[in-house]
Amino acid sequence: MCVPVGATATVAAAIAPHLAHGAVVSDVGSVKQAVLSALSTALPAHAHIVPAHPVAGTEKSGPDAGFASLFAGRWCILTPPADADPDAVARLRALWEALGARVDVMDARHHDLVLAVTSHVPHLIAYTIVGTASDLETVTKSEVIAYSAGGFRDFTRIAASDPTMWRDVFLNNGEAVLEILQRFSEDLTALQRAIRWKDGQALYDLFSRTRDIRRSIIDAAQDTAAPDFGREHR
């Protein structure tokens, strides 16, 4: 099932009567507890439910947004229920590995927390700052666009993602997103204070620490899929 998370229950109810005995049902949604719950409710007991989340993609949506190396080297997270059939999980793992992905298995609840950090909150922040910029009275929209190369444009790419998909992510992973947002807000407030009081050392220390994470991501080859490769060479 490749649908916005909010459509899971409806689609599952529609396909439920037509599933072969022992069919493996999976999805590609960005939230997993809500999907697991919706599928468990709607599908017959003879179906094997193995939710999945390939952590890959661009700001574009739909079949035309695919390309051959989309999943190469990327991680796909499976979140089977505790009593899942091992064979069904193995079959789904084989499918994703055949597409070039690396496969990890974790609890749906932990998945939702990890993705709140690495995907959901970054998207929310990007949407927010792009909205803030477009609402300013003192800076024109054409100025924002012209000078976006200073960093802003990276946020606009994320903030161009599909509105329905992302609305559903936040409606279905609110708890984890709000927890991470609270921490982010505390950390941002500390930096605001450092700027106000001209505490250069506090700024320098954070700015140095964050570089290490970037290096680790490059080392882990999570920023070097073929069509994306040029970015490191700008």
Residues 195-224 contacting a second copy, CB under 8 A: 195-196, 198, 200, 203-204, 206-211, 213-217, 220, 222-223
Q: Applying CB under 8 A, does 178 fall inside the site for a second copy?
A: yes
Asked if 174 and 139 count as a contact pair (C-beta separation under 8 A), the reply is no
CA distance 51 to 58: 21
Q: Applying CB under 8 A, does 62 fall inside the site for a second copy?
A: no
Q: Applying CB under 8 A, does 35 fall inside the site for a second copy?
A: no
C-beta of 21 vs 211, nearer to a second copy: 211
Q: Determine the interface stretch with a second copy among 14-22, 37-45, 87-95, 160-168 (rule: CB under 8 A).
A: 160-168
Classify each residue of 187-203 as buried b or exposed e, where b means 16 or more C-beta atoms within 10 Å of its C-beta.
eeeeeeebeeeeeeeee
Give first-to-last CA distance, the chain, whole Å: 37
Distances (CA, A) of 70 to 50, 55, 116, 166, 226: 21, 10, 22, 20, 9
Q: Which of 39, 52, 108, 121 binds a second copy (CB under 8 A)?
A: 121
Residues 67-106 that bind a second copy (CB under 8 A): 67, 74-75, 77, 104
Q: Applying CB under 8 A, does 188 fall inside the site for a second copy?
A: yes
